[in-house]
Chains A and B, each alone.
Chain A
């Protein structure tokens, strides 16, 4: 089991914590986030650089790239929270809002 950067592990745990509340469900969230966070899928912050990877390949972690990528991941978590809140608000408004 190759080592995984602590920030990336924390990011994944945050994603699966809000997975059950996400409209598409926890299995979908887990599949998409695991796929996005595995080593060979990640190609650097701007998408066109050489693969930097989250998992240490014998050398050192690319700390700067990982921090930038985790920040981007946290932005997507906030987007997911937005979807959850919006769906809930709309449903509550539909059920209890009309007077």
Chain B
């Protein structure tokens, strides 16, 4: 079974981002970038499948600028076999939207014909959360999103929803899965693994050569920081608190 994993190069989760001066985007200069945490979980799931001999090959795909190759190298260090880098200079957090990425991935999947595609459920910069679903729709394959547990033998997936966990069955492979936080705990790529990964190959393609429509369906009007939390109000008596809750907050 061949597994294709999508990885995205995003701003590191620990970085406090700033809005750029023109208020149209986040300031990305000199900011630490790393692999999207949900993509790490997806790579870990694929590598575990390979280790349990359920999968034969794990391919890591990334769409982005030249530095996205570092993200693919991290995926290779975690255990993927080879990488595909789709080069584009469009900003992957804004200018390149989910439909464009899903179109690119569906073209890659048409060439690679994987048995299973695992993506992260959302990225921590765009938080769109729809690339997986769009890809499944473009490929006309089943999709199991927010997967917290995938069972390939019984062909069932436990999905995490707002109401709780539901178990869905997928009829057949190929299928698209998106990884939720509870799927697994990803391994950390240490130096020996990074050294071994240097021998693995990364193929480079250009996004404009694939013949997909890269224009965004959205237009960003403004990017702003959330308002600062206001200070609370001290009350003297319990009656005053109840009065405030009833009249001003309207919660009683």
Contacts and interface: CB of A to CB of B under 8 A. Distances in A.
Interface of A: 10, 13-14, 17-18, 20-21, 23, 77, 81, 84-85, 87-89, 91-93, 95-97, 99
Interface stretch (B21-29, B183-191, B198-206, B228-236): B183-191
B221 interface: no
Interface string B177-198: 0000100011010111010000
Contacts of B122: 96
A18 B190 CA distance: 7
23 contacts: A10-B191, A13-B191, A14-B190, A14-B191, A14-B192, A17-B191, A18-B188, A18-B190, A20-B32, A21-B34, A23-B14, A81-B190, A85-B185, A87-B14, A88-B13, A88-B37, A89-B185, A91-B13, A92-B13, A92-B181, A93-B181, A96-B122, A99-B161
Given A85-B185, A89-B185, A93-B181, A17 B37 contact: no
Interface of B: 13-14, 32, 34, 37, 122, 124, 160-162, 181, 185-186, 188, 190-192, 194
Contacts, number: 39
Contacts of A17: 190-191, 194
Contacts of B190: 14, 17-18, 77, 81
Nearest to B188: A81
